[in-house]
Every structure is written in C-alpha cells, then in structure tokens.
Amino acid sequence: MCGIVGVVGKPAREVVLNGLKNLEYRGYDSAGIYLNDLQGHEYLTKAVGRIANLEEKLAPEEEGTTGIGHTRWATHGHPTVENAHPQYSEDGRFYLVHNGVIENYLELKEKYLAGAHFKSETDTEVVVQLVAKLAKEENLDAFSAFKQALKLVKGSYAFLLVDNTKPDHIYIAKNKSPMMLGLGDGFNIIASDAISVLDQTKTFIALNDGDCADVTKDSIEIQDCDGNKAEREAKVLDIDPNAASKGTYEFYMLKEIDEQPAVMRRLSTDYLDEAGKPVVDEKIIDAVSQADRIYIFAAGTSYHAGLVGKEIFEKFTGIPTEVGYASEAGYHFPMMSKHPFFIFLTQSGETADSRVVLTEANKRGIPSLTMTNVEGSTLSREATYTMLLNAGPEIAVASTKAYTAQVALQAILAKAVGEKLGDQAAKDWNLKQGLSLAAEGIQEIVDGKEKIEELAKKYLIPSRNAFYIGRGIDHAVSLESALKLKEVSYIQTEGFAAAELKHGTISLIEDGTPVIALINDPVTADLTRGNIQEVASRGANVITIVGKQFAKEGDNIVLPEIDYYLSALLSVVPTQLLAYFASKNKGLDVDKPRNLAKSVTVE
C-alpha cells in the first residue's frame, strides 16, 4: 500500500526516490517528494502514476538534505496530483506525508478548520492544516503542535512532517501503520518498510503505536503525545538486500514461484531436526496443546492457506479448527470456546483487518500466534508468539512462496502439537521426508513450465472467465488458484467445491469455458472425475491437475506423488504458473496488478 521514505542529514533526492522505488511493488497510483536544502530552498514535486513520472518532473537543481517522499494508494479522493502527498498547510509552512486513514477527518475539518481552504480531497491535508493552525494560534513549536494535533486525530497513521522554519528536523508519528527508523552515520532515515532502505542502513528502531519522534541528522527523541520520553531498542536486521532483487527474471512472481523448493528445504532445516522432530518453541506447543479450539484468521491468500491448515490441524492434533476472514471476525467476533487459541496467518504481518482481530484477542486475553514472513512486523510484535515463514522477501503482489510456506509451517506446528498430545498419526508422520518430496516435486513442476505456458495460452488467454474445482484440500487450493488467476490476469475466475457447480453455477458453463480440476483427495478422486464429465459434456475445456496415484490417460498435469495433507504444496504450483503465464502473455504487469497493494494496511 502507500509507502514512505524520509531522510535527514544527507543528499536526500536519490535516497528517497530509490527507497520509494523499492516500495513500488506494494502498489500505488501517485507519488511525491519534498526537499529542503536548509539554505532557504525548498521543492515540492508530485506526479500521477509511476515514480518514473515523478523523476521526469524533477528539475536538476531539486535537491536537499532533508527530504520526505510518498507513494499513494488512493483512499480519500482520486489519484491526482492535488491528492498526492506531501500535503502542505495553507500558510506553506508544514509538509506532511501519511500512510493510513484518518477516521475523524471530516469532524476535525468542521470543528477546527472552518475557514481553511483545501486543495485536495484527502484526510491528510486536514491534519497538516490542523498542525499549522495549532502552531499559529497557540504559538507552539512544530513538535508541540504536531503532538497536540495527534491528540485530536483518530485513525491509523505513519506521518512524516517537515516545518520549513526548522527544516533540519523531521517529526514522525505512528499508530497502527508500520514505521521504521533507520540509524545512519551522520544521517537518519525513516521508512514504512526497512527493506526499502537497506542500502543505507541495517540498524533500525521499530516504533510502537503512540510514538512520536523528533529526528535530526544526529539525534532522535521519542515521546508519546503527552511528551513522556520513551526508549526504543535499535536492532540490526538480518535481511540480505540481494534477496529482494529480481536477478535475471523478468518478473518477481516467477522468481518467487521458482524459489519454493528452497523455501521448503529451509523450513525443514529451520523447524525439523535431523530425526524429523519439530523444533518449535515449547511455549507455543504447550499453548496450542491446551486449546480446545484453534481459530485461524487471515485475509486473501493467507486465508486460503488457513483453509488447508484447518484440515491438517484437525487431522494431526484432533483439535477442532475454524478459519475466518479477519475482516469479518473483527466486527462480528465469533462465539468462543472455553480455551481458544488464535493463529494469524499474514505474509506481511501488517494487514489491518487481521490486526483488528488481534487487538480484540489481546483485550480478551486470548493467546495468539502470528505466522509471518516479516520479522518485527506489527502482528508479530503484538501476538503472544511468532513463527517466521523464512521465505525471503516476497515482492510480487500476488503471493506464492509465502502461501506454500504458510501451509508447510502449519504442518510443522500441527505435528509438534499432535506429538505432544500423543496423537499417533502425528508421531508417524514423516514430515521431513514429506517436505523433501515437496521440494523435489515443486522443482519437477517448475522445470516443466513450458507445458503450463502452452495450456495458459491455449485455454485461458482467449477466455473471459474460468473455474477451478476440487474437493477437500483441493477445494481450498481451488479457491487460492482462482484468486491467483483473477488477480494477475483479470480473467474472472471462481473456485468451487467440485460438487457444488451442479447446484447452480453450472449454468455459466458454455463452449470453451476453462474448468481446471484438481484431483489429489483419495476419498473423492472418482467423484471429482464425475464432476468433470458434467462440465465437459456441456462444452467446458477441462484441464486436469492430478496426483500421480490418481492419474488417468489424457490428464494434463500429473503431479509427483505426495501425502494428501501436503498435496497443496504441489497442486498449487501449476496454478501459480497458469496465472503467471496468462498475465505475462496478455502483456500485463504481472508483479503489480491494477488496483492491488502488497501490504493492505487499511480496513
């Protein structure tokens, strides 16, 4: 979603622009930068569309040793230059960039800013005008006026503020939106995601909600809105900046699909010992073992990983497991069992919808675990426990390797808990071998990608719509596969429980409609074959993705044999590739599908 980069104490233009480019993958529709050279010159430039458009507009002399930049994913108001950030106050003194949503901006506007003139439709402009008003009318310095304004503001925010009467400072504030403070030698840098500025520093302070800070090139003062000072620990982040580069790939999505065998091996090494025993924090195992019900909350692809996890947890721990959309559970909290345990699946660790549920869980004292790919992310810091996916940075908006990592990590936890509870199936489950087979199997599938590209070209690209069908875990995978195809190729696709089609949706099948059938469930394999006949006889072009043990002549994609409970790790991969090739061959921007953002930090 929106991205923020600010720097104080060194030539800022390139640092800010590069940082913003590193955040491009998150999705945005306009960008802007403010630079101040501390010699009385300041520059504000904004552009709609890509950062390249912004760069084109920047004059050579536009440079400064204080700079703040922003990529905006429109919420309040269209993607226009006026609505792009930085927003500035009517008196021209304050410049503000903002990630998040101000819930009471209309109320603030009416109550405090009746006479002010607004140039944009944004909630952000209301805040910068409010700061300016408080500074002027109450004769406050910038930091005091900012903190005063924050007391009135309700919502989520990561703010960077510059006062052009004291431009060697950047004032920052955080609530519910991520914000990292990077420490440099003779400069400091602020970013909504550390990954964007790893070429500048690896030492970061993660700010807490409610923190405000006054940052200069060689000082950082962190306070709350009332001026109480706070100490926050700096940590050196162990992230390889090259892991986030595209290398020789045209698109990140394919690189990340191809990385999945390595991710499976890494999870196996990190979470299973030589003998295949899970290496999981005992406290987590104890906490889950004591639960009478597991609740998994997530959104989008992570939700689909949770649906697979449900099958695995119930099979190997015997603990009933429910999966819910975080966005729904936040405001319609499910009825709880006596001893619930919450698992949050979130690649980014920042999804606002999931965070609402976690906040409520914390209020109610419900123990929780975040499975995330981002160390130090908000949901990881706020949950009782964290398990990292260790999948390496995922840059393509469409999640691939984080999904398979989520499935595998849930399997590891299920085995650990099941063993603790004395479950025989868990004890007998050779997960080490399973993950090794998954790694080899994925490799085999990605090595045969040309065939999958042909299928995408022949059946998917000419079509406006498509269906995935499957039963059991295949149903969960069909939902994920459909999401992947529609989000990157814009082909309207739905995932269905195979037998459900005939209860209504089969009326949409016509000559040439692609129906992709997944068959990996031993119990229902033959039944799904029957469902294939139903659509084929009504004109559908059927593509089958079938485990070797269930394969028949004429099947299109035959997957290496694997345990049913790990079958999602293989069956999803051809569907990721189908989505990738459909998008690429339609000439679309595979990594940045329209309207989407990587890290969804608004509700």
Binders in 144-183 for ligand F6R, by CB under 6 A: none
Q: What is the chain's percent helix, strand, coil content, to nearest 5?
A: 40, 20, 35
Three-state SS for 461?
Answer: coil
Asked if 299 is part of the footprint of ligand F6R (rule: CB under 6 A), the reply reads yes
Nearest residue (CB) to ligand F6R, 99 versus 346: 346
Asked if 302 is part of the footprint of ligand F6R (rule: CB under 6 A), the reply reads yes
Show which residues are catalytic: 2, 598
What is the C-alpha to C-alpha distance for residues 179 and 433, in angstroms, rounded to an integer? 40
DSSP per-residue letters across 353-401: HHHHHHHHHHHHT--EEEEESSTT-HHHHHSSEEEE-------SSS-SH
Nearest residue (CB) to ligand F6R, 357 versus 398: 398
DSSP per-residue letters across 101-143: EETTHHHHHHHH-TT---SSS-HHHHHHHHHHHHHHHTT--HH
Asked if 348 is part of the footprint of ligand F6R (rule: CB under 6 A), the reply reads yes
Total site size for ligand F6R, rule CB under 6 A: 15
What is the C-alpha to C-alpha distance for residues 379 and 177, in angstroms, rounded to an integer? 11
What is the C-alpha to C-alpha distance for residues 277 and 265, in angstroms, rounded to an integer? 15
What x-and-dash track marks residues 494-513 binding ligand F6R by CB under 6 A? Answer: --------------------
**Tokens 């999904």 belong to which residue?**
403
Binders in 475-494 for ligand F6R, by CB under 6 A: 483, 487
The two three-digit tokens of residue 481, written as one number? 């596969």
Q: How far is the CB of 229 from ligand F6R (least distance, A)?
A: 33
Among 173, 600, 601, 602, binds ligand F6R (CB under 6 A): 600
Nearest residue (CB) to ligand F6R, 8 versus 408: 408
In this structure, the number of other CB atoms found within 10 A of the CB of residue 553 comes to 4
Nearest residue (CB) to ligand F6R, 145 versus 405: 405
Taking contact as CB under 6 A, which single stretch among the options 103-111, 146-154, 163-171, 299-307 is the one that binds ligand F6R? 299-307
Among 346, 404, 410, 541, binds ligand F6R (CB under 6 A): 346
Asked if 323 is part of the footprint of ligand F6R (rule: CB under 6 A), the reply reads no
Taking contact as CB under 6 A, which single stretch among the options 268-276, 277-285, 300-308, 581-589 is the one that binds ligand F6R? 300-308
Binders in 373-402 for ligand F6R, by CB under 6 A: 398-399
Strands 170-175 and 155-163 come out as: antiparallel
Q: How far is the CB of 317 from ligand F6R (least distance, A)?
A: 23
What is the C-alpha to C-alpha distance for residues 49 and 52, in angstroms, rounded to an integer? 8
Q: Give the residue among 3, 157, 160 at the shortest CA–CA distance from 70.
A: 3
Taking contact as CB under 6 A, which single stretch among the options 76-84, 201-209, 226-234, 341-349 is the one that binds ligand F6R? 341-349
Q: Give the residue among 481, 487, 482 at the shortest CA–CA distance from 397.
A: 487
Asked if 579 is part of the footprint of ligand F6R (rule: CB under 6 A), the reply reads no
The two three-digit tokens of residue 408, written as one number? 């595998």
Asked if 300 is part of the footprint of ligand F6R (rule: CB under 6 A), the reply reads yes
Interface with ligand F6R (CB under 6 A): 299-302, 346-348, 351, 354, 398-399, 483, 487, 599-600
